[in-house]
């Protein structure tokens, strides 16, 4: 493939930390060709390939769907495969690991906490009467029923929302935007009957009540999932559950 | 040497691996299963599939038609018993996906909707807008999380199969976080590592598609079957290679050359009107990509800074339909090509997409090495033959992931003993090999990226859409030389923790061997069939080559043998489209 001729260069300041070396974290500056069609990930790949094979980061699909390559780009959580150099040129771009997470090495963060939370909200279809036999075909679901949960099903687990979340930054017990959005995704699915089971987990975490609807999570979401809306919905339904159980114990309990 | 013991070890956490894991969790809850994946499962490349998954569900469709479309799509190189099994089991697999919550797009009456796809006579492709792979992968992963019998080894990279007494009994795998190699033992192993598109410079495949499982099996003595059959998807974005789904044409998009002419009608796919399936833009991918090359040779394509291209025109579909059915196409095209398909045609060119070949298995996913199974793109169960039809591969992951799980579970039950100490000793040897060859190595001047780029160029020059004996011979020699140079590779990174350069060099080592098997298989096949087009042997030759290529690894060049194709009800005929 022909490449656009480089017209000048652009500078990247990249966060470096290696646990093997026992050194303090630092920033290292690299100069790479500036290309109109390049994203920050392309520049980082150029550094890895041509300048410094020790630079460490995750990436795969380079089309904004695998969710691997989230980084802080000039202080804002971004998918580095979707952040174009041309939007920063000619200024230096500062690249850091996603905020609010422990750093494994360079731009790689630890995801274990999220994986645990993901599992805890039981992100699967729950049927009180069990799954029906395949011979009975699909569960019918109207386009309107599908639309109720569709947006919440678009989460790619890229962690940008956790990185932007002021509550998660202070209180890592907080279930967090993506996990709550996913719980809502199943709660709102007409095929699911597990809301009350899931709700216990969602409401038991203190964080949900601390979320002040700042909406940073929704602002940085690359897939327009709107986790802030999911959190507000979860709060509301938890409140209704509480009223139904405590103030209205004789009726309406689900 | 740390070791862990399981009944079944699955390598790879994409569509096939997760479907196998769910089956083991659900049907064999007493078996302990490890899922060893070099990335967190939801990063697996199944995530990038867009258009849909095929299965007969509607009353206007028939199993017979799905079989025939797949047979003719394969240019008769697929095994017909495999196709029948696949077609029969496909509907129940997609219904189960529905039961697990996959957000399939729906008809107004609430039933699952289907769309037309290339090479299929009847519309039978289930879809979740144009993010079908993403939704399937996340549904499978989230569903798999409920099974307690599954143990997740996320970000562990398998480097070698552990084989004792001719039986596969686990893998040696590096934990990325610590850099430590462990022996993960299992009474049966299922490889589900996906394709190897990263052999080539211009591909829709993500960075992780490096043929890991293909290499592991090849090294253990299993043949790589039909490796010369490589699918170019007709519509990728020039430069990045990002996929623009076939669903864009299934929904009515057209391909035009620089004069606005629907050139496919000149290549046995027309006439353009009336709209019908198995014709024009809904022809099979091999034919469409070949038509592009012919059109380019005639000077009727459009020049771009990233090679020539044609127009994929969706404007007549209108904004509402594009937003509803093809929102991801619009997003990708706007973000990565600066083109909004509502107002302008998208520039596209053929791009490496899928490897039809892979680890030779039988219909249960079993290889010739007892205890070793494979499913999904890394396997060649011979569903796809010389050309895969779009939307058969997502379903393939499910049907054959499930079948491999059953076969592996049966084998594990019948073979309870593990040669623990011998296997651990093998893993120790592997750790020492990696340390001495890469981490502690003194000297060496070659960079990983340089060698990878040269491999990419060789593969494209030798094994592109049109091939010749001379070009293939040259590429074969080039690959041998490159393998010599690989011995002189040196890493910048000698750390243990999360050493991605080490993973890259191991992936490159795998790719060089797989690439070699592909080039030699292509060189020996002196005919043209499906995606394998030889300019020096332009006709299909059923007399000599209605056979699967079987590449075996040796110390020198691969040895190529042949195996009969299974023909049951559909004797070989000419492939006809456009009628």
Asked if the C-beta of A157 comes within 8 angstroms of chain B's C-beta atoms, the answer is: yes
pLDDT of A247 reads 65
**% helix / strand / coil in chain B, to the nearest 5?**
40, 20, 40
Say yes or no to pLDDT of B134 above 50: yes
Q: Which residue of B has its CA nearest to A157?
A: B42
pLDDT digits (tens, 9 = 90+) for B557-571: 999 999 999 999 999
Tell me if B391 sits within 8 A of B87, measured CB to CB.
no
Q: CB burial class (10 A; 0-12, 13-18, 19+) of residue B441?
A: middle
Give residue A1's pLDDT band: very low, low, confident or very high (50, 70, 90): very low
B148 inside 8 A of chain A by CB: no
Instruction: Round to whole Å and give the CA distance between B256 and B179.
Output: 51
Q: Which residue has the tokens 């996990």?
A: A179
Which residues in chain A are closer than 8 Å to B134, comparing Cβ atoms? 65, 156
Closest chain B residue by Cα to residue A146: B103
Tell which B residues from 300 to 319 touch A, by Cβ distance under 8 Å.
305-307
Q: Do A20 and B495 touch (CB under 8 A)?
A: yes
- How confident is the model at residue A3, as a pLDDT? 45
Distance from the A248 Cα atom to the nearest Cα atom in chain B, whole angstroms: 33
Specify whether the CB–CB gap between A208 and A234 falls below 8 A: yes
Distance CA A187, CA B445 (A): 57
Task: Convert the pLDDT of each residue in B314-372 to its tens digit.
Answer: 999 999 999 999 999 999 999 999 999 999 999 999 999 999 999 999 999 999 999 99
Residues B509-563 pLDDT 10s? 999 999 999 999 999 999 999 999 999 999 999 999 999 999 999 999 999 999 9
Among A92-96, A232-236, B145-149, B465-469, the minimum mean pLDDT is found in A232-236
DSSP string for B103-137: ---B-TTSSBPEE--TT-SS--EE-STT-HHHHHH
Residues of chain B with Cβ-Cβ distance to A21 below 8 Å are: 495
pLDDT of A4 strictly over 60: no
CB B16 within 8 A of CB B400: yes
Distance CA B445, CA B492 (A): 10
At residue B301, does pLDDT exceed 90? yes
Q: Which residues from chain A sit within 8 angstroms of residue B306, using beta carbons?
A: 1-3
Q: Is the pLDDT of residue A206 over 80?
A: no
| Residues of chain B contacting residue A158, judged by C-beta atoms under 8 Å apart | none
Residue A201: predicted pLDDT: 82
Residue B574 phi, psi (nearest 5): -70, 145
> Which tokens sit at A117?
């939370």
Contact flag A68-B39 (C-beta cutoff 8 Å): yes
Q: Is pLDDT above 90 for A116?
A: yes
What is the rounded distance in angstroms from the CA atom of residue B522 to the CA atom of residue B119?
24
Average predicted confidence (pLDDT) for chain B: 98
Q: What is the tens place of the pLDDT at every residue in B241-261?
A: 999 999 999 999 999 999 999
Averaged pLDDT of chain A: 91
What pLDDT was estimated at residue B18?
98
Instruction: Return the higher-pLDDT residue of B40 and A213.
Output: B40
Contacts of A64 in chain B (CB under 8 A): 331-332, 335
What would the mean pLDDT of B273-290 be, rounded to a whole number?
A: 97
Q: SS3 letters for B356-422?
A: CCEEECCCCCECCCCCEEECCCCEECCCCCCCCCCCHHHHHHHHHHHHHHHHHHHHHHHCCCCCHHH
pLDDT at A199: 85
Residue A207: pLDDT band (50, 70, 90) is low
Indicate yes or no: CB of A142 within 8 angstroms of CB of B498: no
Question: How far apart are alpha carbons B216 and B358 in whole angstroms?
Answer: 11
How far is it, in rounded angstroms, from Cα B227 to Cα A99?
44
pLDDT one-digit tens code per residue, A21-76: 888 999 999 999 999 999 999 999 999 999 999 999 999 999 999 999 999 999 99
With contact defined as beta carbons under 8 Å apart, do B155 and B177 qualify? Answer: yes
For residues B136 and A57, give the distance between their C-alpha atoms in angstroms, rounded to a whole number: 26
For B9-41, the pLDDT digits (tens) are 999 999 999 999 999 999 999 999 999 999 999
Place of tokens 């293939």: B472
* Residue whose token pair is 């940085």: A220
Q: How far apart are the first and last CA of chain B?
A: 63
**CA distance, residue A62 to nearest chain B CA (Å):** 7
pTM above 0.80, yes or no: yes
User: Is A67 near chain B, with CB under 8 Å?
Assistant: yes
pLDDT band at B432 (very low <50, low <70, confident <90, very high): very high
Closest CA to B5 of B183, B146, B165: B183
**Residues of B forming the active site:** 233, 249
**Nearest chain A residue (CA) to B243:** A63
pLDDT tens digits, one per residue of B88-101: 999 999 999 999 99
pLDDT at A238: 74
pLDDT of residue A242: 65
Instruction: State the CB neighbour count (10 A cutoff) for residue A7.
Output: 10
- Residues B100, B23 contacting (CB under 8 angstroms): no
Residue A210 pLDDT class (50, 70, 90 cuts): confident
- Tell me the mean pLDDT in the region B151-164: 98
Instruction: Provide DSSP, A160-199.
Output: HHHHH-HHHHH-TTS--HHHHHHHHHHHT-TT---HHHHH
Name the residue among B206, B238, B495 with its Cβ closest to that of A66.
B206
Closest-CA residue to B100 (of B72, B131, B136, B70):
B136
pLDDT more than 70, % of chain B: 100
* Residue A248 pLDDT class (50, 70, 90 cuts): low
Return the pLDDT at A2.
39
User: Which of A54, A137, A186 is facing B501, going by the closest CB pair?
Assistant: A54
Q: Please name the residue of chain A whose CA is at the shortest distance from the CA of residue B453.
A: A49
The secondary structure of chain A in percent helix, strand, coil, rounded to multiples of 5, reads 40, 15, 45
Higher pLDDT, A231 or B294: B294
Q: Which residue of B has its CA nearest to A105?
A: B498
Burial B507-537 (b: 16+ CB within 10 A, else e): bbbbbbbbbbbbbbbbbbbebbbbbbbbeeb
Q: What is the mean pLDDT of residues B85-90?
A: 98
Which is nearest to B553 in space by CA: B424, B356, B353, B360? B360
The DSSP call for residue A153 is G
Please, which residues bridge with residue B164 across strands? B167
Contact B104, B128 (CB under 8 A): yes
| Contact (CB<8Å) A19/B497 | yes
**Residue A241: per-residue pLDDT:** 72
A61 touches chain B (CB under 8 A): yes
For chain B, say whether A148 makes contact (Cβ under 8 Å): no
DSSP letter string, A77-89: EEETTS-BGGGTT
- CB contact under 8 Å between B134 and A65, yes or no, is yes
Of B92, B142, B243, the CB nearest to A124: B142
């Amino acid at each position: 493939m022909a490449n656009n001729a480089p017209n000048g260069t652009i500078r990247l300041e990249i966060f470096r930390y290696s646990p093997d070396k026992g050194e303090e974290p630092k920033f290292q500056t690299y100069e790479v060709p500036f290309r109109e069609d390049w994203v920050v990930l392309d520049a980082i790949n150029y550094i890895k390939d041509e300048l410094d094979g020790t630079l460490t980061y995750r990436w795969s699909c380079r089309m904004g769907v695998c969710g691997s390559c989230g980084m802080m780009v000039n202080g804002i959580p971004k998918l580095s495969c979707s952040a174009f150099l041309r939007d920063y040129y000619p200024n230096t771009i500062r690249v850091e690991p996603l905020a609010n997470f422990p750093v494994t090495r360079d731009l790689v963060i630890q995801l274990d906490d999220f994986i645990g939370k993901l599992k805890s909200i039981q992100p699967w279809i729950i049927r009180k009467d069990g799954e029906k036999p395949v011979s009975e075909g699909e569960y019918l679901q109207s386009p309107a029923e599908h639309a109720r949960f569709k947006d919440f099903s678009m989460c790619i687990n890229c962690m940008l929302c956790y990185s932007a979340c002021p509550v998660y930054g202070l209180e890592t017990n907080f279930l967090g935007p993506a996990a709550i959005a996913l719980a809502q995704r199943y709660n709102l699915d007409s095929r699911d009957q597990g809301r009350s089971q899931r709700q216990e987990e969602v409401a038991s975490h203190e964080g949900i009540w601390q979320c002040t609807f700042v909406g940073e999570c929704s602002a940085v979401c690359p897939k327009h999932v709107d986790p802030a809306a999911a959190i507000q919905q979860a709060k509301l339904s938890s409140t209704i559950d509480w009223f139904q159980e405590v103030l209205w114990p004789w009726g309406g309990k689900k | 040497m740390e070791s862990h013991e399981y009944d079944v070890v699955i390598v790879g956490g994409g569509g096939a691996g997760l479907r196998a894991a769910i089956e083991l969790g659900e049907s064999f809850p007493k078996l302990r299963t490890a899922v060893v994946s070099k990335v967190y499962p939801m990063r697996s490349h199944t995530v990038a599939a867009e258009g849909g998954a095929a299965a007969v569900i509607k009353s206007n469709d028939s199993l017979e038609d799905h079989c025939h479309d797949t047979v003719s799509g394969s240019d008769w190189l697929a095994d017909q018993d495999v196709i029948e099994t696949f077609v029969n089991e496909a509907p129940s697999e997609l219904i189960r996906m529905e039961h697990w919550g996959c957000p399939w797009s729906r008809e107004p009456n609430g039933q699952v909707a289907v769309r037309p796809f290339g090479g299929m006579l009847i519309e039978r492709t289930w879809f979740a807008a144009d993010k079908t792979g993403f939704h399937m992968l996340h549904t499978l992963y989230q569903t798999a999380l409920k099974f307690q019998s599954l143990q997740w080894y996320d970000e562990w990279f398998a480097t070698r199969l552990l084989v004792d007494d001719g039986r596969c009994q686990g893998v040696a795998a590096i934990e990325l976080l610590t850099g430590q190699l462990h022996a993960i033992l299992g009474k049966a192993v299922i490889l589900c590592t996906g394709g190897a598109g990263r052999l080539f410079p211009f591909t829709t495949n993500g960075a992780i598609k490096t043929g890991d499982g293909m290499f592991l099996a090849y090294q253990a003595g299993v043949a790589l079957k039909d490796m010369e059959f490589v699918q170019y998807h007709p519509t990728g974005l020039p430069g990045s290679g990002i996929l623009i789904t076939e669903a864009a044409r299934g929904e009515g998009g057209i391909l035009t050359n620089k004069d606005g002419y629907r050139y496919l009608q000149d290549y046995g796919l027309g006439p353009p009107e009336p709209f019908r399936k198995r014709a024009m833009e809904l022809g099979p991918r091999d034919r469409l990509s070949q038509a592009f090359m012919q059109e380019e040779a005639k000077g009727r394509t459009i020049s771009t800074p990233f090679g020539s291209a044609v127009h994929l025109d969706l404007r007549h579909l209108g904004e509402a339909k594009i937003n509803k059915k093809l929102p991801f196409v619009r997003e990708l095209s706007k973000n990565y090509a600066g083109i909004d398909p509502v107002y302008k045609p998208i520039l596209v060119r053929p791009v490496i997409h899928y490897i039809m070949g892979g680890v030779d298995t039988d219909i249960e996913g079993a290889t010739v090495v007892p205890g070793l199974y494979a499913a999904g793109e890394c396997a060649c169960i011979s569903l796809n033959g010389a050309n895969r039809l779009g939307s058969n591969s997502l379903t393939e992951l499910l049907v054959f992931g499930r079948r491999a799980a059953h076969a592996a579970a049966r084998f594990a039950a019948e073979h309870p003993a593990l040669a623990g100490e011998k296997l651990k000793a093998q893993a120790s040897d592997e750790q020492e090999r990696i340390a001495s060859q890469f981490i502690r190595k003194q000297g060496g001047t070659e960079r990983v990226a340089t060698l990878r780029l040269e491999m990419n160029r060789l593969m494209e020059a030798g094994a592109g859409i049109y091939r010749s004996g001379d070009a293939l011979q040259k590429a074969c020699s080039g690959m041998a030389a490159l393998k010599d140079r690989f011995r002189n590779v040196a890493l910048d990174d000698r750390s243990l923790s999360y050493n991605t350069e080490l993973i890259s060099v191991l992936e490159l080592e795998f790719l060089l061997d797989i690439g070699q098997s592909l080039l030699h298989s292509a060189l020996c096949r002196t005919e043209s069939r499906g995606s394998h087009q030889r300019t020096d042997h332009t006709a299909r030759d059923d007399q000599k080559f209605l056979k699967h290529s079987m590449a075996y690894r040796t110390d020198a060049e691969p040895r190529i043998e042949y195996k009969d194709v299974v023909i049951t009800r559909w004797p070989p005929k000419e492939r006809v489209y456009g009628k």
